[in-house]
Amino acid sequence: MGSKSQQQVQVTPSASAAILVVMYIAAFVAAFNENIINVALHDIMAAFSVSATTAQWLVSGYMIVTSIFTAIMAFLSGRFSTRKLLFFACGCMVAGEVLCLIAPSFSVLLPSRILQAAGSGILFPLMMNVVLSCAPREKLGLYLSLGGACITLGPAFGPVISGLMCTLFGWRAVFVVPLVAGIVVAAAGVKLVQNVGERSNTTLDILSVVLLAAGITAFVYSVGEFSTNLIAGIVTLIAAIVLLGLFAARQLKLEHPVLNVRPMASVRFWPACLLVVVSMMTTFSMSVLLPLYFEGTYGMTALVAGLLILPAIACNAVTSIVGGRVMDARGAWPLLPVGFALIAVGQTAISMTAASMNIGVVVALTVVVYAGVGLVLSPSQTAGLETLLAAEHPRGTALLNTWNMIAASFGPSLFIGLLSSSAATAGAAGIATDVTQAIGFAAAVRVAAVIAVVGFVTSLVYARRESHMSH
């Protein structure tokens, strides 16, 4: 048990290119689907009479399930072929979109949305696994950055297209585009995708999956509670740490762990994971906070809110390509510190100007923040993978993808909690509703800026050290 049982037939360069294109598109669709709900949260809250803290579980819950499926991808990719995983992921996404279209209540909408998350949790690491199998070693950074750009371009178009659909046809219409796109990707996969990589007969440890799911859920819940119920937040955080600690300890004992955590013991690898967490917290949190700010403070439609975010995320896509090329050519120094400096400076400036409701300045500074994220997200992943032996790349990829999704899970929960509590405090003082939303947004981004400073300091030490070691 656990031995390799089947080596896939080598595919031609043209076939590899076709597979990569389909997988890049699939990752784009999955990323698009992640962010379609953000501009509709305001309308969903009104439709089902739920608070922002409750509605954000459409984001956090989605990302929790995505992180769980990402974590078990080492097992899934070993037991199932590339084609089977692609079709299963597309099936989950399409089924979830249909159920969301007809959901009569929030209690039906949330699990329907989570069903879609199973598809995203497979498609992102599946794309990275295909890149690692098909991309030339000397251009790995570029190919990973292309994948990162696709994952970034998805959210770039997501708020605009879903904002248009929401404004013209209501919030349910946001699920139509990913529904059609999921069908198209599956159809393209039938014709173009071949199986790559190796199969194995490993088994899945169910207790590990339960511990991981419970630990991540408790952790995300705890960070959301800190701003409103400190005691509950602390208790739940302790429970999360215990559960995740038990999960990690169990992985070290298993012959075939769900998630091999041994690379985390490397002082050359774990800082890269921290940098990935800061990057993902930034991009996912801002993508949720900005629509709430624009719609809650200025009364904008979902379409206008999406259009205002588009320049920042489009810039992020461009800098992702630049970051990948620079990483291949020069390495992590000074790329990573520069990128994190842009994030920290941009968010600090936003926190100082958002409460004054100067929308033009906020939009411009958001471009700076997203440009910084583009420079560091994929290069942080590449830097971590380059510290591992080639045989350990699948383990490192699984860890990085899992940290990606965990960061995307608790980031929105933390910052929406901060926004809501700060806005409520301002409202209790008799301040107008639109101004309280701006104050809440500024408070949330201020905390994000502190986290970005931690990322900058870490990147400064890490990139400099890796530069010296490579020379």
Residue 19 lies in a domain: yes
Distance CA(234)–CA(68), nearest Å, equals 23
pLDDT digits 0-9 by tens, 201-243:
778 889 999 999 999 889 888 877 776 778 888 999 999 999 9
Distance CA(435)–CA(198), nearest Å, equals 56
Lowest average pLDDT, out of 22-26, 195-199, 278-282, 449-453, goes to 195-199
Residue 349 lies in a domain: yes
Both 211 and 189 in a single domain? Answer: no
Please state the domain count of the chain. Answer: 2
Both 399 and 290 in a single domain? Answer: yes
Residue 318 lies in a domain: yes
Buried b / exposed e over 100-132, threshold 16 CB at 10 Å, is: beebeebeebbebbbbbbbbbbbbbbbbbbbbb
Task: Answer for the pair 294, 308: CB distance below 8 angstroms, yes or no.
Answer: yes
Last residue of a domain, one of 226, 257, 288: 257
Question: Which whole number is the average pLDDT over 46-56?
Answer: 85
Helix (H/G/I), strand (E/B), else coil: 76:
helix
Helix (H/G/I), strand (E/B), else coil: 5:
strand
Distance CA(85)–CA(390), nearest Å, equals 24
Both 270 and 416 in a single domain? Answer: yes
Residue 28 lies in a domain: yes
String of DSSP letters for 396-438 = HHHHHHHHHHHHHHHHHHHHHHHHHHHHHHHHHTT--HHHHHH
- Tell me the whole-structure pTM to 2 decimals: 0.76
Residue 45 lies in a domain: yes
Both 231 and 267 in a single domain? Answer: no
**Count, residues in the chain:** 471
pLDDT digits 0-9 by tens, 61-76:
888 888 888 888 878 8
Task: Answer for the pair 248, 260: CB distance below 8 angstroms, yes or no.
Answer: no
Both 154 and 64 in a single domain? Answer: yes
Distance CA(350)–CA(352), nearest Å, equals 5
CATH code of 465's domain? 1.20.1250.20
Q: What pLDDT is recorded for position 241?
A: 93
The pLDDT-based confidence of 1 (bands split at 50, 70, 90) is very low
Both 161 and 231 in a single domain? Answer: no
Residue 1 lies in a domain: no
Residue 268 lies in a domain: yes
Both 249 and 350 in a single domain? Answer: no
Both 267 and 327 in a single domain? Answer: yes
Both 417 and 330 in a single domain? Answer: yes
Residue 3 lies in a domain: no
User: Where in the sequence is the domain holding 39, given as residue range(s)?
Assistant: 11-204+258-470
pLDDT digits 0-9 by tens, 179-192:
999 999 999 988 87
Both 173 and 214 in a single domain? Answer: no
Both 386 and 307 in a single domain? Answer: yes
Last residue of a domain, one of 229, 257, 285: 257
Both 262 and 219 in a single domain? Answer: no
Distance CA(89)–CA(105), nearest Å, equals 25
Angle at 87 between CA 86 and CA 90, to 5 degrees: 85
